[in-house]
Structure 1
């Protein structure tokens, strides 16, 4: 059995990504094969409306990760991405806990993390209230951010919220509260990643593999494939935020799908005729490659999606 060095794979992915700083997203994806529960904890890098897995761990349980499992994953990440290169860490409200929050603050990792509405907060009167009560006055479509710190679950944090048709979104951050709520919406990129890994792309759920080590190796292959598809889609069609929109205000396809379709077409058709295209698509992975379809653009801003 071959041994994978996952730190080396992470360095390879970073080499292929044309970025100087990184927005990290943390989430889980899980499925079931027979009576076997497969539960991945994934740390990814947001880029062009999707994200690329950089570190992952197979949890030996069906439920959420604990603080120590998240910390262990982040320690591995800090070995290849210094804290000053991390723009922020984004995670949903299942990734909470005083130990977890305190570790991130102690290691100077900026974060925008969603909290539950019933999280205890010290209000204007100095009394303890629930987080949702601090923003009970917000109307649909409005948002508010406290520039002064509040005591949230015993820690001094900035807090902000946005009320949409789907409910109240509450976000906390240790610093730089400007745009903290807007930044958090980039977390949606990891949901796009999971869809691309599963039903909208590689159909990872259909694998019959249940061995933990083999699944971790398979995720490494998928990480390289996802990045390749994204780079090809970006090379062919430009940045995600410049794709033409349909009547529902979303692009017909994401960059991942454009890249996957082009790669699949180059492999399925007569390879002798498509050989030049395939080898050019290989070169697209190089950060310095400039081809016929490549466009030099400024880093795009992510289109917020409703949660």
Structure 2
């Protein structure tokens, strides 16, 4: 049996278990596209077609991919939910960080991603795609992707919403407050706050390296939203002051959680240059790109599981240096899969934390 066919059978067996009510059209296409994506490490339709175990012409499967990506009955959120829920359930009892960020995807497309911070990395939670190469998403899109992420979070779960300067806006902060979520957003230096009835521009508050200024119970912007708290701290990379708006009671909490915002950057790197080369997609239509992201995110979760399994089992010494860890879990997962195929070993496909590893959610203790 070919490596491609073995991979497909392993993936399809698990996909069918996770989507028991979905028909063979959907489970077969998801499994085939995941197989081709992981084996080719490319989102290009011709590359995926070249790695699937089908006797038909490659161009036939390219057309099949296009039909899948244009199929309005392929509901991304409903299909993705069963795969990401085990990770959210594993975080119950801990505060869950949800990280917002945007990135280029496809041809003249931008994706807005909400990801759950987990084990020093981010896992895709919900996303939307809009036309455009650069620029910020409007606040309405921020609210939309946050709403879709919130629908996946278990009830009575503590959440902190994190975002860089693009997300420092009143509508998003108000929405988080109504959900009883904590939030930490970076804001621009020309934003204003109201202190004792006086409107002051944030740039007037200056700090030196290693200094932190804490503005408590202030009102934010001309809308006078609040009360909120503001952290003014020194950004070593930019050699300038950085301003954070939060509803945490302590500046230490706000800084602790804001550091977790950067966990989303390795995820984008794994999905792009270090993994599936998402940046090379020629898709122009946002809806098609959103469905392609479904395949990319499912493959990403699976490869992370394989990387975790390689570390847990000690197999990491067979694929990398034993004295230090040079690669991400994602890279270890890709290497471990290649070894399993080369040695004709069982290919595990799971979409959950490996419980025996006692993975600690971001910010957890123990």
Query: Which ranges in structure 1 are unaligned for 5 or more consecutive residues?
Result: 239-249, 303-307
1:173 equivalent in structure 2: 246
Contact 1:28 1:41 in 2 (8 A): yes
Q: Does 1:4 align with 2:74?
A: yes
Contact 1:83 1:107 in 2 (8 A): no
Describe the SS at the equivalent of 2:248.
Answer: coil
Query: Which ranges in structure 2 are unaligned for 5 or more consecutive residues?
Result: 1-67, 313-323
* 1:274 pairs with one of 344, 348, 353: 344
Higher helix share: 2
Q: Does 1:42 align with 2:104?
A: no
2:157 equivalent in structure 1: 85
Describe the SS at the equivalent of 2:166.
Answer: coil
- Equivalent residues, number: 272
User: Offset of 1:96 from its aligned partner?
Assistant: 2.7
Q: In terms of Rg, which structure is larger?
A: 2
Contact 2:106 2:284 in 1 (8 A): no
Q: Distance in 1 between matches of 2:325 and 2:203?
A: 34
Q: Residues 90 and 264 (structure 1 numbering): CA distance in 2 closer, same or farther, change over 3 Å?
A: farther
162-171 or 216-225, larger mean C-alpha shift: 162-171
* 2:209 pairs with one of 140, 148, 151: 140
Q: Distance in 1 between matches of 2:241 and 2:336?
A: 40
Q: After the TM superposition, which residues 26-105 of structure 1 pair with which residues of structure 2 at under 5 Å, given as runs?
A: 26-31=100-105, 33=107, 37-62=108-133, 63-82=135-154, 84-105=156-177
User: What CA deviation, in whole Å up to 9, does each residue of 1:94-149 have, x standing for no partner?
Assistant: 113222322222232221111111110234x6432221322x1x221333434x31
Contact 1:10 1:55 in 2 (8 A): no
User: Offset of 1:86 from its aligned partner?
Assistant: 4.2
* 1:113 pairs with one of 185, 194, 201: 185
Name the structure, 1 or 2, with higher relative contact order (CA <8 Å, separation 6+). 2
User: Offset of 1:49 from its aligned partner?
Assistant: 2.0
2:293 equivalent in structure 1: 219
Q: Residues 121 and 204 (structure 1 numbering): CA distance in 2 closer, same or farther, change over 3 Å?
A: same
Contact 1:118 1:130 in 2 (8 A): yes
Contact 2:209 2:234 in 1 (8 A): yes
Contact 1:144 1:160 in 2 (8 A): yes
1:259 equivalent in structure 2: 333
Q: After the TM superposition, which residues 124-203 of structure 1 pair with which residues of structure 2 at under 5 Å, given as runs?
A: 126-134=197-205, 136=206, 138-146=207-215, 148-153=216-221, 154-155=224-225, 156-165=227-236, 166=238, 167-177=240-250, 178-203=252-277
User: Offset of 1:299 from its aligned partner?
Assistant: 4.2
User: Offset of 1:16 from its aligned partner?
Assistant: 4.6
Q: Distance in 2 between matches of 1:222 and 1:32?
A: 13
Describe the SS at the equivalent of 1:68.
Answer: helix
